[in-house]
Structure 1
Amino acid sequence: MLIRNAQIRSESAGQLVDIRIDDGRITWIRPAGDAAVAGVDSQAHSGQGGRSSQSGEFGEVVDVAGKFVAPQLVESHIHLDYAFSAGTPRDNESGTLFEAIEIWRERKQLGLGTAEEVRAKAIAAARSAASHGVGFIRTHVDVTDPELVALGVLVDVKKEVADFCQIEIVAFPQNGMYAYPGGDELVERALREGADVVGAIPHLEPTREDGVASLKHAFDLAEKFGARVDVHCDEIDDEQSRFVEVMAAEATKRSMQGLTNVSHAVAMSYYTPGFMARLLPKMQAAQLSFSVCPNENLHLQGRGFSNPVPRGVAPVKQLVDFGLNVAFCQDSISDPWYPMGNGDLVRIIDTGLHVGHMLTPAYVDTCLDFATTNPAQTLGLSDYGIAEGKRANLVVFEAGSEREILQESAPVLLSINDGRTVFERPSMNPVWRL
């Protein structure tokens, strides 16, 4: 495949490039119209989608007519096994995190959600995300179930969607390692049966001591299985919930810098300046990554407060400006925690930059980092990005720049996974008659 006249992020802003793909990899990137491709018809007409295709010595030749080409997006925090479960067995009338957890507990006790239903909905959610350009997903899967039904389903789903999306599974004890009898053993069993990453939820454990113990056990398992750690950490409106400092300490103590991800970190938005001043260097030394879910936590957090109501979203700007790796994530697609969602990460980036007071050029003009290179670092995707030799996992947006993508909520016109076209869609731009 040859992608012609593409706009990519580079030092030569505004200069279009041609991208050649062979055997699923990017073999070269050169200025548009390079002599090496002079034999390709330069008069190809761009259709409604701002792109055209033809055959030639390069196989398929795609002219994207100045559209922005980015790596496939990376979703580093979602729950595919929960997808499209909102309203079963009942709606979350309070909209709170803890009612959602109770609803999920009831759902399991009632035996709702067959394996086939979970499979169909998980695939539908993965396809929805992929339709917005996502090519990599880290999904948390509830393993506080003696039968590990959802885990078995997602292990199979991982194989079923491999042609268009790479999935990584977190063994997530939704009801706690110790709050749920045998939860710690189930996490280990899940790792033996196909999970890739160790999860935990310390703020849900019976006591702080139990929460600390759950984190230590998570790191023990990570060392035992050679896995990364990804924890639902401090997702609570409580300034005293400070498990993130335990995560930083354990990661540093065990030489797991860069292998540890903090999901949500809601309580951090309530921490005092003095505590943050002490915490930030510790998190930086541990090379913690963060998966922040702005849409979901804006919905769940800050309830029960009198005005002014807190936002309850991690202080993203402060983290980024201190050099920490932050990704924006969907979290839920229509489940007891969040009744909306479709996997569109551009929408999530929009919310995250708004709530973080980050609508300035430094962030707007590099906004895709929050759904590409940053979460790719979280997942340890070394063979990722737009560069010669990298896997050809690319998307074409209906926009000419990252700022325009954000401004227009631009859709993905073309998605390519390992050099193969996943999908394409026509332009969404109106054709004016008057």
Structure 2
Amino acid sequence: MIINNAKLRGKQGLHSIECENGRFVSIIEQDGLVIPLESSLDAKMNLLSAPFVEPHIHLDAVFTAGEPNWNLSGTLFEGIERWAERKPMLTSEDVQRRVLKAVQLLVENGVQHIRTHVDITDPELVALKAIVALKEKLSAYIDLQIVAFPQEGILSFPNGKQLMEKALEQGADVIGGIPHFEYTREYGVESMRWIIDLAEKHGKLVDVHCDEIDDGASRFLEVLATAALEKGIGERVTASHTSAMHSYNNAYCSKLFRLLKKSKINFIALPTENMHLQGRFDGYPKIRGITRVKEIKDAGMNICFGQDSIQDPWYTLGNGKLLRVLDSGIHSCHMMGYEDLETALDLITDNGAKTLNISENYGIEVGKPANFIILEGSNDVEVIQKQGDVLYSVREGEILISRQPATLNQTIPLIE
């Protein structure tokens, strides 16, 4: 496959890219516009980018909003209650049907790498087994990482530690946690140190729902970062949400950042989800409840965006479009300066790849797998301005999806 007339992120001019045997073999700058051959793909001066990365989604819960009851308060904790009502209804067929529907949405919107959290506070591990069974089937379309996520706690749920060990045996790739939902602070601290020890023992990645609460006194992030630093595995550890950081006082947060930078842990922000769930106990002014994305990024730490939910008990919207999440995030985090916009796609591409520990085989470089998307617009700024479609998604040199941008049948005459 040869792609002509492509713009590349951070590079001037137009480029031709050649793929062979599923890998990039040549990337050269063109001397002006090229008339492509019939057998080649014409990017038409649009942006060719590495695929989108969805670093945080709950595929086991997609399309369950209102089943059997709606989350009327809109809070995180009621969402957990509603999910607990839905959990006994799970079957392998139910889970797989909904997961496949969601993955199709994600693939259609340029996602090729997914990290999904799967609830393991279920003695039968129904959802985990169902999704592990789909992993090979989906490998032609996506790379899938599965997080063993203890939705109702590790120490606060019966046999929580044993269920985590069992989930790893069943094929989970990543160890999860939820310290702010444990019964006590002591349980939360113990759970953080336990999962870091477990990750070191099994050579696993870690991704914790950490301080997803409006309580400025919820400070499990410092525990997670310290444990990761002590074991020297920070680059394999991720703190998702960290919503309480929005409410930390600035003096404490300044001190905390020193530890976070030393630890080298990753961060995931969920802008649409946390703007919806947080601030529910406030009058006015209401907090936004999103972690300090710009400050983390400007401090040189790795942070990315995810969408968290597609129509589940926590969030009734969601459509697989990471560009929508990115748009929401840069608005709500005051990241609309031109310098922010110039690299904004990092938040749903390269930064996500680093979080998932897949950077070695990710990106537009000779020798790497020929995985890419083509987006409407010539650079990050235009892509965000247009909020257009993913025109192509290509995986190992094979086209997964293609679409043409909308056009009018005739030009609208200028108003005189």
The percentage of counterpart residues that share the same residue type is: 42
Spell out the pairing of 1:9-408 with structure 2 (5 A cutoff).
9-10=9-10, 12-13=11-12, 15-32=13-30, 42-44=34-36, 54-55=38-39, 61-108=40-87, 111-381=88-358, 382-408=360-386
Contact 1:404–1:410 (Cα < 8 Å) also in 2: no
**TM-score, L = length of structure 2:** 0.97
Contact 1:89–1:107 (Cα < 8 Å) also in 2: yes
What letter corresponds to residue 424 of structure 1 in structure 2?
S
Q: Residue 398 of structure 1: CA displacement?
A: 1.7
Q: Which residue of 2 aligns with 1:37?
A: none
RMSD: 1.3
Task: Give the Cα separation in 2 of the matches to 1:432 and 1:241.
Answer: 58
Q: Residue 221 of structure 1: CA displacement?
A: 1.2
Contact 1:18–1:33 (Cα < 8 Å) also in 2: no
Task: Give the Cα separation in 1 of the matches to 2:278 and 2:314.
Answer: 11
Q: Residue 305 of structure 1: CA displacement?
A: 0.8
Task: Give the Cα separation in 2 of the matches to 1:66 and 1:433.
Answer: 21
Task: Give the Cα separation in 2 of the matches to 1:289 and 1:63.
Answer: 36
Are 1:428 and 2:406 an aligned pair?
A: yes
Secondary structure of 2:362's match? coil
What letter corresponds to residue 41 of structure 2 in structure 1?
V
Contact 2:155–2:187 (Cα < 8 Å) also in 1: yes
Task: Give the Cα separation in 2 of the matches to 1:432 and 1:264.
Answer: 47
What letter corresponds to residue 16 of structure 1 in structure 2?
L
Q: Which residue of 1 aligns with 2:390?
A: 412
Task: Give the Cα separation in 2 of the matches to 1:21 and 1:2.
Answer: 6
Contact 1:75–1:134 (Cα < 8 Å) also in 2: yes
Counterparts in 2 of 1:274 and 1:164: CA distance versus 1, 3 Å = same
Q: Residue 33 of structure 1: CA displacement?
A: 5.2
Structure 1 gap segments, 5+ residues each: 35-40, 45-52, 56-60
Q: Residue 431 of structure 1: CA displacement?
A: 4.0
Secondary structure of 1:195's match? coil
Q: Which residue of 2 aligns with 1:58?
A: none
Q: Residue 42 of structure 1: CA displacement?
A: 5.0
Counterparts in 2 of 1:429 and 1:292: CA distance versus 1, 3 Å = farther
Are 1:8 and 2:8 an aligned pair?
A: yes
**Cα deviation code 1:45-72 (max 9, x no counterpart):** xxxxxxxx723xxxxx111110100001
Secondary structure of 1:232's match? strand
Contact 1:135–1:165 (Cα < 8 Å) also in 2: yes
What letter corresponds to residue 363 of structure 2 in structure 1?
G
What letter corresponds to residue 361 of structure 2 in structure 1?
D
Secondary structure of 2:141's match? coil
Task: Give the Cα separation in 2 of the matches to 1:326 and 1:177.
Answer: 26
Q: Residue 257 of structure 1: CA displacement?
A: 2.2
Q: Residue 428 of structure 1: CA displacement?
A: 2.5
Contact 2:90–2:126 (Cα < 8 Å) also in 1: no
**Cα deviation code 1:106-144 (max 9, x no counterpart):** 222xx2132101101111111111111000000000011
What letter corresponds to residue 241 of structure 1 in structure 2?
S
Q: Residue 401 of structure 1: CA displacement?
A: 1.5
Task: Give the Cα separation in 2 of the matches to 1:236 and 1:87.
Answer: 23
Task: Give the Cα separation in 2 of the matches to 1:315 and 1:430.
Answer: 42
**TM-score, L = length of structure 1:** 0.93
Task: Give the Cα separation in 2 of the matches to 1:170 and 1:429.
Answer: 42
Secondary structure of 1:295's match? helix
Contact 2:5–2:34 (Cα < 8 Å) also in 1: no
**Cα deviation code 1:255-284 (max 9, x no counterpart):** 112111000000000000110111001001
Q: Which residue of 2 aligns with 1:48?
A: none
Contact 2:303–2:347 (Cα < 8 Å) also in 1: yes
Task: Give the Cα separation in 1 of the matches to 2:320 and 2:164.
Answer: 27
Task: Give the Cα separation in 1 of the matches to 2:182 and 2:320.
Answer: 30
How many residue pairs match? The answer is 411
> Which ranges of 4 or more aligned residues in structure 1 deviate by more than 4 Å?
none
What letter corresponds to residue 57 of structure 2 in structure 1?
I
Task: Give the Cα separation in 2 of the matches to 1:299 and 1:16.
Answer: 41
Task: Give the Cα separation in 2 of the matches to 1:328 and 1:245.
Answer: 21
Task: Give the Cα separation in 2 of the matches to 1:119 and 1:187.
Answer: 21
Counterparts in 2 of 1:429 and 1:216: CA distance versus 1, 3 Å = farther
Q: Residue 426 of structure 1: CA displacement?
A: 1.7
